[in-house]
Amino acid sequence: MRISAYRFLTAMVLAVIFASAGCGDDDSAPTAPAGKSFLRVGYLSPDAGRVDILLDGEILVPDVIYTGFSAIFELGSGTLSLRITPADQNENIIAEIELTFATGRSYEAVVTGLIGDGTVAVTVLDDDLVPDADNATVRFVHASPGTPNVDITLPDGSVL
Whether 5 shows a pLDDT value over 90: the answer reads no
State mean pLDDT over 41-46.
93
Instruction: Please list the residues that pair with 96 across neighbouring strands.
Output: 83
Q: Of 105 and 137, which is predicted with more confidence?
A: 105
Q: Of 74 and 17, which is predicted with more confidence?
A: 74
In this prediction, residue 53 has a pLDDT band, given cuts at 50, 70 and 90, of: very high
Write the single-letter amino acid at 22: G
Q: Is the Cβ–Cβ distance between 111 and 134 less than 8 Å? A: no
Q: Of 33 and 54, which is predicted with more confidence?
A: 54
pLDDT digit string (tens) for 79-111? 999 999 999 998 899 999 999 999 888 999 999
- In the chain, DSSP assigns E strands to 37-43, 51-55, 58-64, 68-69, 73-75, 78-86, 95-101, 106-112, 121-127
CATH for 32-127, among 2.60.40.1120, 1.10.3720.10, 3.40.50.720, 3.30.460.30?
2.60.40.1120
